[in-house]
Amino acid sequence: MYKQKLCMALSTQFGLPSDELIVLLKKTGFDGFAIDTSDRKTDAAHLVEIGKRENMIIQSLHAPFNKSDDMWFEGELGDVALKELLENTELCAKLEIPVMVSHTFIGFDNDNIPTQLGIERYGALAKRAGELGVTLALENTEGEEYFDALMNAFRSEKSVGFCWDTGHELCYNRGRNLMADYGDRLVATHLNDNLGVRDFDGKITYIDDLHLLPFDGISDWNVIAERLAASPFDGPLTFELNTVSKPGRHKNDKYAAMPVEGYIAEAYARACRVAALYIKAKEAIK
């Protein structure tokens, strides 16, 4: 798009092999993509090769996240989790992917008390990322106390930045303005819409995390654009979207019913609308 690069996070939910999806994203108008190795099967090197062939940006690599809670506790599981994240950092360096996105916790049944051990493990990860020239982007998810602990512990670390997930902010973070706290360290975005916390009494669960197309939820995209424009971030806008509904929600069913070409075209149109608001907000600041 004129004046703004747009990227999409790859997903098996779209119903196409990732190599075909990359070609479709390029054809539709996207400038790049983000790779997710959470399934531990993705051939990142192959996808980077295709991306280079298509002259696309490889914006980031999303490391596996289902061991994130282990990082905070004593024992072998935490050491294994750190080893895996370090291996993904090495992979980013090898493939010249500039940003590695990492969750800081997973789960809801916890005491929300960050440990010094967890900070030290993530510190080792941040140190290695810095040595390799990779930026570690910590993403806001559930367990925001752990996220805050790391963002504060590594405030002076140039190798550590913020990956802002706008949908997570509405549900996992109850609408808290995270850009007010960490917008000066923004290095990546996961832009998506959401309906907030469903439970009347405020209990948060993973089924609150919908990853809807922008403008299909309750997000105020004018405000999101203004918050982005107020930050020093000048990278591509990356969208992370789902076409498969969470159990019992059905909010994404209409996406799954669309031909993949139609869905990606609609995603690009929505991304352009967001980008136009962002450009307008930046110009208003000048």
**What single-letter amino acid sits at 35?**
I
Q: How far from 260 is each of 10, 12, 100, CA to CA, in Å?
A: 13, 11, 27
**What single-letter amino acid sits at 195?**
L
Give per-residue pLDDT as tens, 16-45. Answer: 999 999 999 999 999 999 999 999 999 999
Band (pLDDT 50/70/90 cuts) for residue 131 is very high
What is the radius of gyration, based on Cα positions, of the chain?
A: 18
Region 213-222: what's the mean pLDDT?
Answer: 98
**What single-letter amino acid sits at 243?**
T
Give per-residue pLDDT as tens, 73-126. Answer: 999 999 999 999 999 999 999 999 999 999 999 998 777 799 999 999 999 999
Whether the pLDDT of residue 1 is over 90: the answer is: no
| Per-residue confidence (pLDDT) for residue 112, from 0 to 100 | 78
| Per-residue confidence (pLDDT) for residue 177, from 0 to 100 | 97
Band (pLDDT 50/70/90 cuts) for residue 286 is confident
Are the C-beta atoms of residues 115 and 73 closer than 8 Å to each other?
A: yes
Cα 231–chain centre separation: 17
Rounded CA separation 204/198 (Å): 8
Band (pLDDT 50/70/90 cuts) for residue 242 is very high
| Per-residue confidence (pLDDT) for residue 103, from 0 to 100 | 98
Question: What tokens were used for 175?
Answer: 């609408």
Region 218-241: what's the mean pLDDT?
Answer: 98
Band (pLDDT 50/70/90 cuts) for residue 149 is very high
Whether the pLDDT of residue 211 is over 90: the answer is: yes
Whether the pLDDT of residue 156 is over 80: the answer is: yes
Cα 155–chain centre separation: 20
Rounded CA separation 19/48 (Å): 10
Are the C-beta atoms of residues 92 and 100 closer than 8 Å to each other?
A: yes
| Per-residue confidence (pLDDT) for residue 210, from 0 to 100 | 98
Average pLDDT, the chain: 96
Region 204-209: what's the mean pLDDT?
Answer: 96
Q: Using CB atoms within 10 A of its CB, is residue 24 exposed (0-12), middle (13-18) or buried (19+)?
A: middle
Region 130-151: what's the mean pLDDT?
Answer: 97
- Give the whole-number percent of the chain exceeding pLDDT 70: 100
Rounded CA separation 51/45 (Å): 10
- Give the whole-number percent of the chain exceeding pLDDT 90: 97
